[in-house]
């Protein structure tokens, strides 16, 4: 495991890198309020892969957005492309979990020439919004931004308290929560605070409609694998998942036992799927699973 800092035009990005320098290039992007340590449990199970797991801006050891700047979908995509540029990778495979999977989906659609293969865990496209909720979302988003300046950061007296909070928030075991917490907190007088940018907790004032999200997904040109947890999330139901699968030209899906952080809690079966998918020799047309057909269940 090698700790790096990437200098990009969009700010510094923290990176955990693992694997041979001549291995298959994989850029890994974590979920919302997680960090690069999200991929630590799985790295040793991906032999032959040169994995660069980044901290998204506002997370882990990476820079926060400048004052007055926003965390937006287009910005996240630019961050991924900037990371590829800083690594000197003209193209690579993308691996994303949750928010990271949504970002990687959109990156593959926006810049298909940069993405060889796309592996997603618990995400396919971004969260969408219905027109009937648009006004309430706008008001909530603007009000939250105006109220943020008056909020105080929570101070945890010790690491154990922060770990217990993560365990409760995401139904994580102690070792998994500790990985995220140790990279995700900073020491202050009296204890520890989250390193993550408080602006990340704000509700988005607008979201694309579902039809738009599916149109974006239709632009993914590379072979794609979606790994979904059997314990589905309210915002990524099997019904929504299946509807979006139909939009992606070349995708297989594998539903595995576990919850939202299954790549951390049960890394071996997730890594087995990833290894088989990422290391399959490129062919003009993929054999086996067609669009939306399960790789395993």
Length of the chain: 297
Mean of the per-residue pLDDT values for the chain? 93
Whether 296 has a pLDDT exceeding 90, the answer reads: no
Least confident of 238-247, 251-260, 277-286: 277-286
Is 60 exceeded by the pLDDT of residue 16? yes
Residue 279's pLDDT is 86
pTM: 0.93
| Set 21, 38, 62, 98: catalytic member | 98
Q: Report how far apart, in Å, the C-alpha atoms of 204 and of each of 39, 46, 78, 103, 137 are.
A: 26, 35, 18, 15, 7
Whether the CB-CB separation of 18 and 1 falls below 8 Å is answered with yes
CA 99 – CA 295 distance, rounded (Å):
23
In the predicted structure, residue 78 carries a pLDDT above the cut 70: yes
Q: Which helix (H) or strand (E) holds 65?
A: none
pLDDT given for residue 215 in this prediction: 98
| Alpha-carbon span 263 to 165, nearest angstrom | 20
In a 3-state reduction of DSSP, which class is residue 209?
A: coil
Mean pLDDT of 154-180: 96
d(CA 65, CA 199) in angstroms, rounded, equals: 9
Neighbours of 119 (CB within 10 A): 23
- Whether 98 is a known active-site residue: answer yes
The whole-number pLDDT of residue 124 equals 98
CA 252/CA 53 separation, integer angstroms: 23
Average pLDDT, integer, range 11-17: 98
> Which H helix or E strand runs over 121?
strand 115-121
Across 5-14, 69-78, 86-95, 275-284, least confident range: 275-284
Average pLDDT over residues 159-168: 97
Provide, rounded to the nearest whole percent, the portion of the chain with pLDDT above 70: 94
150: confidence class by pLDDT, cuts 50, 70, 90: confident
Please tell me the distance from the alpha carbon of residue 262 to that of residue 36, in angstroms, as a whole number: 15
Per-residue pLDDT, 37: 98
Rounded CA-CA distance 12/61 in Å is 9
Q: Quote the crossing angle between the two packed helices 73-87 and 99-110, to the nearest 10°.
A: 80
**Cβ count within 10 A of residue 44:** 13
- Report the distance separating Cα 110 and Cα 189, nearest Å: 44
Rounded Cα distance between 4 and 73, Å, is 25
Pick 286 or 244 by higher pLDDT: 244
Cα 294 from chain centroid (whole Å) = 22
SS3 of 21-60: the string is: CCCEEEEEECCCCCCHHHHHHHHCCCCCEEEEEECCCCCC
Reported as a single tens digit per residue, the pLDDT across 18-55 is: 999 999 999 999 999 999 999 999 999 999 999 999 99
Give the chain's domains with CATH numbers: 2-125+204-296 (3.40.50.1820), 147-201 (no CATH)
pLDDT given for residue 152 in this prediction: 86
Q: Is the pLDDT of residue 281 over 70?
A: no
* Cα separation, 273 vs 260, whole angstroms: 16
């Amino acid at each position: 495991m090698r700790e790096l800092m990437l200098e990009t035009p969009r700010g510094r990005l923290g990176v955990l890198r693992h694997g041979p320098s001549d291995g298959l290039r994989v850029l890994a992007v974590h979920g919302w309020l997680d960090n690069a340590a999200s991929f630590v449990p799985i790295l040793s199970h991906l032999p032959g892969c040169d994995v660069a797991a980044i901290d998204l801006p506002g997370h882990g050891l990476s820079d926060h957005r400048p004052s007055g700047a926003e965390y937006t979908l287009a910005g996240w995509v630019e961050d991924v492309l900037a990371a590829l540029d800083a690594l000197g990778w003209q193209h690579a495979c993308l691996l994303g979990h949750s928010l990271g999977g949504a970002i990687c989906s959109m990156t593959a659609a926006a810049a298909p020439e940069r993405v060889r293969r796309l592996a997603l865990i618990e995400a396919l496209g971004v969260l969408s919004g219905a027109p009937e909720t648009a006004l309430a979302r706008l008001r909530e988003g603007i009000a939250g931004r105006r109220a943020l300046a008056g909020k105080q950061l929570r101070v945890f007296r010790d690491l154990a308290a922060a770990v217990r909070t993560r365990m409760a928030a995401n139904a994580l075991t102690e070792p998994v929560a500790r990985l995220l917490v140790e990279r995700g907190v900073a020491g202050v007088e009296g204890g520890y605070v989250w390193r993550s940018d408080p602006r990340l907790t704000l509700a988005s004032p607008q979201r694309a409609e579902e039809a738009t999200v599916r149109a974006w997904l239709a632009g993914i040109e590379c072979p794609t694998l979606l790994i979904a947890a059997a314990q589905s999330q309210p915002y990524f139901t099997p019904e929504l998942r299946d509807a979006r699968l139909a939009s992606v030209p070349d995708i297989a899906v594998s539903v595995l036992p576990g919850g939202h952080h299954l790549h951390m809690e049960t890394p071996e079966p997730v890594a087995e799927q990833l290894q088989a998918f990422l290391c399959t020799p490129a062919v003009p047309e993929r054999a086996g699973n067609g669009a939306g057909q399960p790789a395993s269940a």
